[in-house]
Amino acid sequence: MRNEEEMYALILNTAKEDPRIRAVYMNGSRTNPNADRDIFQDYDIVYVVHDTQPFIDDKSWIDCFGQRLYMQYPEDNVLFPDNDTSRCYGWLIQFADGNRLDLHVQTPDYTREEIVKDRLCKILLDKDGLLPPMPPATDADFYVQRPGEPEFLACCNEFWWCLNNVAKGLWRGEVTYVQDMLGFVVRPELVRLLSWKIGCSHDFSVSIGKSGKYMCRYLTDEQWQNFLKTYADAEVENLWNAVEIMCRLFDETARDVACELNFSYNTEEAAASWEYLRHVRVLPADADAVY
């Protein structure tokens, strides 16, 4: 597997030797000072060019980067239409040696619009002074944001209200429906709430990472393990147990956040939702009424 020094040399030398490439910048985890370093980190690279079409027409130019295992052309994917390839075009490449390169060519005007939106961008080469000066890379744009009380109350209401869908889905044995409700509706509110708890403890100056992957850095071991227990397999009983753990963790965290930020918390709503969930759990399979 080529090391970081070899990959950077290849990326930069390719740009230096190709007169069509006028600048290079990088973003993503490799510019993030707080990201974990490991062998799976991508190289997120942008080549700034005046015309994207020659690179699109002759895709063999990427052969210089090494043997490819497989790849994707995201702008050509019919699942993601309406891409302006005249301004931006990309190659997502998994190499046979284990490295991955997410490479894009962008026009100068498009680049100047986009680069200022991402404070993780780091300029590696600028032959013509096309790019604006960039401050040191930081993940500050991704810090947990302090909520207002309406946002906090809306998060709590969304969590407790949507549990009724989980309850009826579990009673019916609709496992795929329940998994979707938990994964796409209910658990995201728990993650949001946990992020606020972490923010309260760290002056809202940390990021929990994509999908909350860095929460383990900031939660207690008990809290983190309880969060992991909210993920269950396809057995209905295990899902019921995971939802109970989720409710307990959410309620405890909501009380803590409300106290820290001097917010109100609708404990009656929480209690009623939780009680409904438990009632449905013991409801006979042949019941002809909920109550």
Burial class from Cβ neighbours inside 10 Å (0-12, 13-18, 19+) for residue 42 reads middle
Q: What digits encode the pLDDT tens for the residues 84-99?
A: 999 999 999 999 999 9
User: Residue 83's pLDDT is what?
Assistant: 80
Q: What digits encode the pLDDT tens for the residues 258-269?
A: 999 999 999 999
User: Residue 101's pLDDT is what?
Assistant: 98
Residue 183 and residue 247 in contact, taking contact as beta carbons nearer than 8 Å: no
- Does residue 82 have a pLDDT over 80? no
* Single-letter residue type at 87: R
Token pair, residue 233, equals 């397999």
* Backbone CA torsion sign across 268, 272, 278, 282: positive
Alpha-carbon gap, residue 46 to 105, rounded angstroms = 6
Alpha-carbon gap, residue 172 to 169, rounded angstroms = 5
Query: Within a 10 A sphere around the Cβ of 184, how many other Cβ atoms?
Result: 9
Alpha-carbon gap, residue 191 to 184, rounded angstroms = 11
User: Residue 88's pLDDT is what?
Assistant: 95
Token pair, residue 13, equals 């030398």
Q: What digits encode the pLDDT tens for the residues 212-255?
A: 999 999 999 999 999 999 999 999 999 999 999 999 999 999 99
pTM, 2 dp: 0.90
What residues have CB less than 8 Å from 108, skipping those under 6 apart?
22, 23, 48, 50, 130
User: Residue 78's pLDDT is what?
Assistant: 83
Burial class from Cβ neighbours inside 10 Å (0-12, 13-18, 19+) for residue 94 reads middle
pLDDT average, residue stretch 25-39? 92
